[in-house]
Chain A
Amino acid sequence: MSEEKNNGRMSIIVRTIASSVFPFIVIFSFYIIMHGHLTPGGGFQGGSVAASAIVMLIAAYGYRKVDERVKENSLACIESIGAIIFVAVAFVGLFMAASFMYNFLVGSPFFGEIPHGGNTGILNSGGILPILNIAVGLKVMAGLSAVVAVMALSAGEKK
């Protein structure tokens, strides 16, 4: 098959469009994650959008290119870092304030200002919500893209 000849990658049109669209999708996913407490979206949604961008690169460039560039151990490390940040923030709420996963940053001058009449554009508000959004976003992005990458590697090696 010609698929075996060119290492499972698609034609040059698909590769060019995928590599030129990729930064915009990643920036949009970062926007969804960072504005998770202001506009619709959040950690899971932005992470899934970023993972779909990585899946698009895997589909366009083939599994061997992915095998050269990124290892699944690093993706698993990123996912574990997200989980550790999540649980660490929750335990800081236990030790510094009242209870587990208490929103201890609300009211502090750095992260917790509460504007009157709705919050329209202040990013560093909402207490621990942006930190947890970033943690869950890292976790979902690394996890879903690791699943698809490992499955593509396994299917490519088996063939």
Chain B
Amino acid sequence: MIDLFSIILILISALTIIASIISVLMKDLLSCVIALAIMSLLLSLYFYMLHAPDVAIAEAGVGACITTAIFIVAIKATERYEKEEER
């Protein structure tokens, strides 16, 4: 029996996986950082729905704001686009 709670959980986890895959595959590093922020926010929503509000507040504060700001500052100091290199 699949109820509404399980459907929302599966939807949120699927969106989290999609956002993290986008953050890996994009060449524009600023888009990667925005995708990471979205992933972090969805992850905090997931924690809240699993009855862990402490972890949800910490994740939303640190993961979605501080980490994004640090990454954007680092991108501003270095380069924005990822270089093509042979592997």
Contacts and interface: CB of A to CB of B under 8 A. Distances in A.
- Majority DSSP secondary structure for residues of A touching B: helix
A52 B65 contact: yes
Interface stretch (B5-13, B14-22, B27-35, B50-58): B50-58
Contacts of A144: 62, 66
Interface string B57-70: 11001100110011
A3 to B, nearest CB: 10
10 contacts: A44-B58, A45-B54, A49-B57, A51-B66, A52-B61, A56-B65, A144-B62, A148-B70, A151-B70, A155-B74
Interface of A: 32, 40-42, 44-45, 48-49, 51-52, 55-56, 58-59, 144, 147-148, 151-152, 154-155, 158-159
Interface of B: 53-54, 57-58, 61-62, 65-66, 69-70, 73-74, 76-77
